Amino acid sequence: MIYTVTLNPALDKTVEIPGIALDTVNRITEMRTDPGGKGINASKVIAKLGGESRAVGILGGESGRALEKLLENENFTTQFRFVEGQTRTNIKIIDRVGHTNTDINEPGLTVTNADLDALLNDLLAEVHAGDIVVLAGSLPKGAPQETYRVWTSACKNAGARVFLDADGALLAEGLKAAPYLIKPNDDELSRLAGRKLETIEELTAEGQKLLESGIERVVISLGGRGALYLRKGSTIYAEGLKVPVGSTVGAGDSVVAALAYAESQDMSEEDAVRLSTATGAANVMCSGTQAAERSESTFFQAVIAEIYRVLRYGEGEFYYENKSCTSACCE
């Protein structure tokens, strides 16, 4: 079973405003509301891929009830604890004229240590050896900085493989518990290193240091350049696909979801890379934080197999081959 943990969920309201301008009235042309938060986004994608997951988290107030209601038709189970306060609402503004995506995120509700301990105990009562626990996203107010370290250690002690998708101090603290997989982007990895990492070689060298600390897998997102997938003795560089952008919100979450699903299905490393690259591309084309259908991810896996090879490299050796995609979807 895959458990996704979202301690600071949100109602994601995505609006389209062509040619948005400051200090004047802007009119919305399209709008949708989705249940959001990195772990919840991952559960939506896992369901579309055909996997099973349970979304775990903290909700509050009427907005929390609304979010819970929106999840009733999703193909995964939920395990929420309600606390005082209101679940946050985040606004995503898409401007297709200016080609911009702007996020305006509320801080969310406030939790206590007792709230967090109760939810962790609920989770540990369900987790079994071999399960996957995805810890993802920001923390609500009141949550200690070491929360992800504590949760990672507890889930590892229960025999679970922990995927940690966080940044800044939360990532740095979580690393102390050596999660199974982490997914920093190049900027986040640079902050961890204390210096700007620009080349593939520099990023890989820093990623290999993390492997030496006990982490099994390091996935480094490079934005438009693609991603690096590292484990001991292996580095894979997968170039990203250029596709029409519906929304970039949740794109990284879809990659984590695909990797968790691939791990649960014992896929080969190369197949996991292809699936995560394809799923990321398919979800970028979707509006809001809705998940792409499995058929779209399958299509992109076929496109990837046709337009470029994902190769395995020895430590410190790099090479990749990329051809031009002539498919109408990528033009």
Residue 39 near residue 4, CB atoms below 8 Å: yes
Tell whether the model's pLDDT for residue 148 goes beyond 90.
Answer: yes
> Which stretches does DSSP call E strand in the chain?
2-6, 10-16, 30-36, 53-60, 77-83, 88-95, 100-104, 132-136, 161-165, 181-182, 217-221, 227-231, 234-238, 308-309, 312-313, 321-322
Q: How does residue 258 score in pLDDT terms, banded at 50, 70 and 90?
A: very high
For residue 79, list its beta bridge partners: 56
**Spans of all domains in the chain:** 2-317
More confident residue, 100 or 302: 100
**What's the whole-number mean pLDDT along residues 167-178?**
96
Q: What is the pLDDT of residues 51-73, one digit of tens each?
A: 999 999 999 999 999 999 999 98
pLDDT in the model for residue 296? 53
* Catalytic residue check, 253: yes
The CB density around residue 228, as the number of other CB atoms within 10 Å, is: 22
Q: Exposed, middle or buried, 194 (CB in 10 Å: 0-12/13-18/19+)?
A: exposed
pLDDT in the model for residue 275? 86
pLDDT in the model for residue 238? 83
Q: How does residue 316 score in pLDDT terms, banded at 50, 70 and 90?
A: very low
For residue 30, list its beta bridge partners: 16
Tell me the C-alpha distance between 314 and 265, whole Å. Answer: 25
**What's the whole-number mean pLDDT along residues 296-316?**
44
Query: Average pLDDT, whole number, for the chain?
Result: 85
**What's the whole-number mean pLDDT along residues 257-267?**
95
Percent of the chain with pLDDT over 70: 81
Least confident of 112-126, 157-171, 269-283: 269-283
Residue 291 near residue 45, CB atoms below 8 Å: yes
Tell me the C-alpha distance between 170 and 151, whole Å. Answer: 12
**What's the whole-number mean pLDDT along residues 296-311?**
45
Residue 166 near residue 191, CB atoms below 8 Å: no
CATH of 2-317, picked from 3.40.1190.20, 3.40.50.920, 3.40.50.300, 3.30.43.10, is 3.40.1190.20
Q: Produce one character per residue of 182-191: b if its CB has 16 or more CB atoms within 10 Å, e if not.
A: bbbbbebbbb
Q: Exposed, middle or buried, 97 (CB in 10 Å: 0-12/13-18/19+)?
A: exposed
Tell whether the model's pLDDT for residue 92 goes beyond 70.
Answer: yes
pLDDT in the model for residue 284? 56
pLDDT in the model for residue 321? 36
Of the listed 165, 187, 253, 271, which one is catalytic? 253
**What's the whole-number mean pLDDT along residues 205-228?**
92
Least confident of 9-18, 191-200, 254-263, 287-296: 287-296
Q: How does residue 285 score in pLDDT terms, banded at 50, 70 and 90?
A: low
Tell whether the model's pLDDT for residue 166 goes beyond 50.
Answer: yes
More confident residue, 315 or 39: 39
More confident residue, 131 or 75: 131
Q: Taking the model in full, what pTM does it have?
A: 0.83
Q: How far is CA 137 from each of CA 10, 35, 74, 166, rounded to the nearest angstrom?
A: 11, 14, 20, 5
Residue with tokens 């249940």: 35
Tell me the C-alpha distance between 264 and 130, whole Å. Answer: 9
